[in-house]
Amino acid sequence: MRSASRSLRRILIAATVGILALPGPLAAQQPAAPAQPPAPSWAQGRPDSPAAVNLAPQVAPPLATPLDKLPVAMLKVPRNFHVEVYASGMPQARSLRIDDKGTLFVSTRTLDRIYAVVDKDGKHQVKTLLTGLRWPNGIALHNGTLYIAELNKISKIDNIEAQLDNPPKPTVIYDDLPSDEPHGWKFLAVGPDNKLYFNIGAPCNICMPPAANAQLRRINLDGSGMEVVAHGIRQVVGMDFHPVSKVLYFTENQRDWLSEDVPEDKLDRLLHVGQDNFGFPYCGGGNVPDPQFGWGHSCSEFTPPVVRLGPHSAPLGMRFYVGHMFPSEYHNAIFIARHGSWNRTTKFGGDVVVAKLNPDGTVKSVEPFMTGFLQDNKYVARPVDVELMKDGSMLVSDDWNGAVYRVSYGQQRVSLNH
Amino acid sequence: MSRAGTACATLVALVAGTLPVFAAVQPKLEPCLACHGAQGQSETANVPSLGAQNPAYVLIQLFMFREGLRIAEPMNDMAKGLSDDDLRSISGDIAALPPPKPPADDGDPSRLDRARALVEQNHCNICHRLDFSGQENVPRVADQREDYLLKALREYKSGARHGYDATMAEALQPVGDAQIVELAYYLAHLAAAR
Is the Cβ–Cβ distance between B58 and B78 less than 8 Å?
no
**Residue B74: cis peptide before it, omega within 30 degrees of 0:** yes
Contact B64 A62 (CB under 8 A): yes
Given A20, A54, A56, which is nearest B117 (Cβ)?
A: A20
Select from A16, A41, A56 the Cβ nearest to the Cβ of B173: A41
pLDDT over 50 (residue B49): yes
For residues A335 and A332, give the distance between their C-alpha atoms in angstroms, rounded to a whole number: 9
Better-scored residue on pLDDT, B138 or B170:
B138
> Phi-psi region for residue A246, left (φ > 0), alpha (ψ -120 to 50) or beta?
left
CB contact under 8 A, A40 and B172: yes
Chain A residues close to B67, C-beta within 8 Å: 111-112
Q: Are A228 and A219 in contact (CB under 8 A)?
A: no
The whole-angstrom distance between B167's CA and the closest CA on chain A is 8
Rg (CA), chain A: 22
Q: Which residues contact A23 (CB under 8 A, 6 or more apart)?
A: none
B84, B121, B126 member nearest A52 (Cβ): B126
Give the three-state DSSP class for A188. Answer: strand
Let me know if A142 is exposed, middle or buried by CB neighbors in 10 A (0-12, 13-18, 19+). Answer: middle
Parse chain A into domains and list their residue ranges: 61-88+312-418
What pLDDT sits at residue A40? 57
Instruction: Return the pLDDT at A145.
Output: 98
Question: Is A119 within 8 Å of chain B by CB?
Answer: no
**ipTM of the predicted structure?**
0.78
- Which residues have CB under 8 Å from B7's CB, separation 6+? B44
The CA distance from A188 to A186, in Å, is: 6
State how far the Cα of B45 lies from the Cα of B1, in Å rounded to an integer.
Answer: 15
Looking at this protein, which amino acid is placed at residue B61? Answer: Q
Cα–Cα distance, A24 to B7 (Å, whole number): 53
**Chain B closest-CA separation from residue A10 CA (Å):** 8
Cβ of B123 within 8 Å of Cβ of A43? The answer is: yes
Q: Answer with the residue of higher pLDDT: A357 or B127.
A: A357
Which of B63, B136, B171 faces A62 most closely, judged by CB atoms?
B63
Best probe of the A interface among B62, B156, B168, B170, by most A CBs < 10 A, is B170
Residue type, A111: L
Instruction: Beginning with the edge strand found earlier in the chain, give each strand of the sheet holding A138-142 in spatial order.
Output: A138-142, A145-149, A154-157, A171-174
Burial A100-121 (b: 16+ CB within 10 A, else e): eeebbbbbbbbbbbbbbbbbee
Q: Which of A10, A50, A63 sits opposite B84 (nearest CB)?
A: A63
State the pairing for strand pair A403-409/A378-379.
unpaired
Phi, psi of A7 (to 5 degrees): -60, -40
Q: In whole angstroms, give the CA distance from residue A179 to residue B9.
A: 38
CB of A51 less than 8 A from some CB of B: no
Nearest CA in chain A to B117: A33
Give A45-110 as a 3 state SS string. Answer: CCCCCHHHCCCCCCCCCCCCCCHHHCCHHHCECCCCEEEEEEECCCCCCCCEEECCCCCEEEECCC
Nearest CA in chain B to A63: B84
A66: Cα within 13 Å, side-chain hemisphere: 6
In angstroms, rounded to a whole number, what is the distance separating the alpha carbons of residues A164 and A127? 9
State pLDDT tens for residues B2-34.
444 455 555 444 444 444 444 456 788 888 999
Query: Does B113 lie at the interface with A, CB-CB under 8 angstroms?
Result: yes
pTM of the model: 0.85
DSSP A34: P
Q: Are the C-beta atoms of residues A216 and A250 closer than 8 Å to each other?
A: yes
pLDDT at A401: 98
**pLDDT, position A41:** 56
Sequence-distant (6+) residues with CB within 8 A of A115 are A90, A93, A105, A106, A108, A126, A127, A128, A129
pLDDT of residue A52: 52
**In this complex, do A43 and B126 lie within 8 Å of one another by their Cβ atoms?**
yes
Contacts 24+ apart (CB under 8 A), A240-244: A240/A189, A240/A318, A240/A319, A240/A320, A240/A334, A241/A189, A241/A191, A241/A192, A241/A320, A242/A269, A242/A320, A242/A332, A242/A361, A243/A320, A243/A322, A243/A332, A244/A332
What's the gap in Å between the CA of B19 and the closest CA on chain A? Answer: 33
Q: What is the pLDDT of residue A409?
A: 98
CB contact under 8 A, B130 and A59: no
Buried b (16+ CB within 10 A) or exposed e, A38-66: ebbbbbbbbebebebeebbebbbbbbbbe
Alpha carbons within 13 A on the beta-carbon side of A98: 23
CA B32 distance to own-chain centroid: 12
What is the full per-residue pLDDT of chain A (418 aa) written as tens digits? 344 444 444 443 333 333 333 333 333 333 343 444 555 555 555 555 555 556 788 899 999 999 999 999 999 999 999 999 999 999 999 999 999 999 999 999 999 999 999 998 889 999 999 999 999 999 999 999 999 999 999 999 999 999 999 999 999 999 999 988 889 999 999 999 999 999 999 988 888 999 999 999 999 999 999 999 999 999 999 999 999 999 999 999 999 888 999 999 999 999 999 999 999 999 999 999 999 999 999 999 999 999 999 999 999 999 999 999 999 999 999 999 999 998 898 999 999 999 999 999 999 999 999 999 999 999 999 999 999 999 999 999 999 999 999 999 995 555 554 4
Cβ contact A216:A229 at 8 Å? yes
Asked if pLDDT for residue B174 goes beyond 80, the answer is no
B64 to chain A, any CB pair closer than 8 A? The answer is yes
Nearest chain A residue to B136, by CA: A58
Residues 156-185 of B with CB under 8 A from A: 164-167, 169-176, 179
How far apart CA A405 and CA A235 sit, in angstroms, is 26
User: CB–CB of B56 and A33 under 8 A?
Assistant: no
Range B105-129 average pLDDT: 88
Closest by Cα among A387, A352, A356, A399 to A76: A352
Query: In 3D, which of A276, A318, A281 has the Cα closest to residue A202?
Result: A281
Half-sphere exposure of B7 toward its Cβ, with a 13 Å CA cutoff? 10
Angle between helices B109-121 and B177-188 (to 10 degrees): 110
CB nearest to B126's CB, from A10, A41, A46: A46
Judge contact between A86 and A111, C-beta under 8 A: no
Q: Is beta strand A195-200 parallel, antiparallel or unpaired with respect to A288-289? A: unpaired
How far, rounded to the nearest angstrom, does the alpha carbon of residue A204 sit from its chain's CA centroid? Answer: 16
CA distances from A210 to A97, A154, A177, A180 (A): 31, 20, 12, 11
Residues of A with Cβ-Cβ distance to B69 under 8 angstroms: 111-112
- Tell me the chain B residues in contact with residue A110 when contact means C-beta distances shorter than 8 Å: 164-166
Q: What is the mean pLDDT of residues B108-130?
A: 89
B23 touches chain A (CB under 8 A): no
- Cα of first residue to Cα of last residue in chain B, in angstroms, is 37
Asked if B166 and A181 come within 8 Å (Cβ–Cβ), the reply is yes
Is the Cβ–Cβ distance between B97 and B51 less than 8 Å?
A: yes
Q: Which one-letter amino acid corresponds to residue B92? A: G
Contact residues, A window 189-208, toward B, CB-based 8 Å cutoff? 204
Could you tell me how many helices (H) and strands (E) chain A has, helices first?
A: 2, 28
Amino acid code (one letter) for B99:
P
Interchain pair A32, B84: CB under 8 A: no
Identify whether the C-beta of residue A317 lies closer than 8 Å to the C-beta of residue A329: no
User: Of B55, B29, B61, B60, which is closest to residue A63 (Cα–Cα)?
Assistant: B60
